[in-house]
Amino acid sequence: MLQVGINGYGTIGKRVADAVVSQPDMELAGVAKTRPNFEAERAVANGYPLFAAVPERVERFAAVGIDLAGEVDELVERSDVVVDATPSGIGAENKELYETYDTPALYQGGEDADLVKTSFNARANFSEAVGADHVRVVSCNTTGLSRLVAPIEEAFGIEKVRATLVRRGGDPAQSGRGPINDVLPDPVSLPSHHGPDVKTIFPDLAIDTLGLKVPATLTHTHSVNVSLEREASAAEVRDLFENESRLFVIGEDLGIDGSGAIKEFALDAGRPRGDVWENCIWGESIAVEGSDLYLFQAIHQESDVVPENVDAVRAVTEIEDAETSIERTNEALGMGF
């Protein structure tokens, strides 16, 4: 059984921890946090070994009666792979720690692309991460775009992608983020940095992206236009998407009109935390005009990268190929509605 450690137990870290626990070939070596808050209390309640991410803060945990399994170095030493899910920029500071113990590490999309040689999306470039020591699982938005681009490129060829990313102002628990009552071009200079990030997965892709931030918390929404190299009908594109395990085409009859209904649907389906690991593409929005494909998709920013982290663990440890890993991850999580 692979021992997987999680350094940074917040929005992404706690979801990846639960996903690791559900995998038949992995065990959770433990999780590391800096503060003894409600997430620390829940980690211990779940039976997850909890490690102090900052040694000077060990006593804070003792003061509120939370038992620690040790300090973060011990977690790194006992792990076959560490998933670093700390806030943007901290992962880069932690790289030396992982190197000290020769433990392969996965970083998240908030880290700069040049921190590692390999940025990762399971559907698009699993093989490039096989045996790598340091891999960045790309951001929620880049994951959402990569899952679309890979099958379209294979089936029809892509001349150019143009995508407008309508981004949530913050996650539901991020009380300090906004905007509260505004729509912000973000970044205001065009094109946005998201396109270059997609090119870390598809170096030869022509892509321009624009970003906005809106007062929403549940999902990002992408308005996507792909100029195709070969002719395709909307029905062919829809068929293609329906055969992809991490793309969910929202049926017209479901009456799902936005992010709120998607979340409610996921909760009704019994998804943990109402998570939606798949891209959600509105079936009615898939349209082809000449050689231009158009669609809208919603991306659940808190969870779409979770199955990607699980697959990246298998890639760096070389225990499975892409197809087997994706299938195993999907089955253990309960992917698909």
Residues that bind ligand NAP (CB under 6 A): 7-8, 10-13, 32-35, 37, 53, 85-88, 90, 108-111, 139-140, 171, 301-302, 305
Which residue has its beta carbon closest to ligand NAP?
10
| Smaller CB separation from ligand NAP, 88 or 233 | 88
Q: Minimum distance between the CB of residue 302 and ligand NAP, rounded to whole angstroms? A: 5
Number of other CB atoms surrounding residue 335 within 10 Å: 16
Residues 6+ apart with CB under 8 A from 281: 148, 241, 247, 248, 249, 250, 295, 296, 297
| Smaller CB separation from ligand NAP, 106 or 158 | 106
Instruction: Report yes or no: 32 and 6 within 8 Å, Cβ to Cβ.
Output: yes
d(CA 145, CA 122): 13
| Smaller CB separation from ligand NAP, 7 or 325 | 7
CA-wise closest residue to 303 among 260, 222, 236, 246: 246
| Smaller CB separation from ligand NAP, 109 or 211 | 109
Evaluate the CA torsion angle 243, 245, 246, 248 in order and state its sign.
positive
Q: Provide the CA 290 distance to its chain's centre, in angstroms.
A: 33
Q: Minimum distance between the CB of residue 317 and ligand NAP, rounded to whole angstroms? A: 21
Could you give the C-alpha distances from 151 to 27, 115, 146, in angstroms and in order?
32, 28, 9
| Smaller CB separation from ligand NAP, 80 or 302 | 302
d(CA 161, CA 149): 8
140 a catalytic residue: yes
Residue 55, classified by CB atoms within 10 Å of its CB into exposed (0-12), middle (13-18) or buried (19+), is exposed
Could you give the C-alpha distances from 145 to 123, 124, 225, 335, in angstroms and in order?
11, 11, 11, 18
Q: Minimum distance between the CB of residue 171 and ligand NAP, rounded to whole angstroms? A: 5
Number of other CB atoms surrounding residue 114 within 10 Å: 10
| Smaller CB separation from ligand NAP, 39 or 320 | 39
**174 is written with which tokens?**
């991020």
d(CA 32, CA 153): 39
Q: Minimum distance between the CB of residue 200 and ligand NAP, rounded to whole angstroms? A: 14
Instruction: Report yes or no: 240 and 152 within 8 Å, Cβ to Cβ.
Output: yes
From 43, 82, 129, 140, active-site residue: 140
Q: Minimum distance between the CB of residue 94 and ligand NAP, rounded to whole angstroms? A: 7
Q: Provide the CA 63 distance to its chain's centre, in angstroms.
A: 34
| Smaller CB separation from ligand NAP, 200 or 320 | 200
Q: Minimum distance between the CB of residue 75 and ligand NAP, rounded to whole angstroms? A: 10
Q: Minimum distance between the CB of residue 286 and ligand NAP, rounded to whole angstroms? A: 25
Catalytic residues: 140
